[in-house]
Amino acid sequence: MALEATVGDDGMIYIRETRRPDVVAVTTPAKWEAFVKGVKAGEFDHFATEAETDTDAESDTDPGEGAGAGRATETG
């Protein structure tokens, strides 16, 4: 899974997951910047650790799934 983010003509940030490109979240530049700073600071790392633990426990889960498998990319 990967996230795609772009700035729209209206200045808002549009975010979607590559596996579900029809579902788009919209946020403000200030909120996006705060989120990116939080990611870089490791504020969400515990979610990845929890997801990896859950994934290890479930043998039928696709190894590409889970919060720890994703990567955020900025486009646009």
| pLDDT tens, residue order, the chain (76 aa) | 799 999 999 999 999 999 999 999 999 999 999 999 999 999 999 888 776 776 666 545 444 444 444 444 555 4
Identify residue 72 by its one-letter amino acid code: A
Q: Would you state the structure tokens that stand for residue 33, as one six-digit string?
A: 């910047």
66: number of Cβ within 10 Å: 20
Query: Are the C-beta atoms of 39 and 22 separated by less than 8 Å?
Result: no
Q: In this predicted structure, what is the pLDDT of residue 71? A: 46
Q: What is the per-residue pLDDT for 1?
A: 77
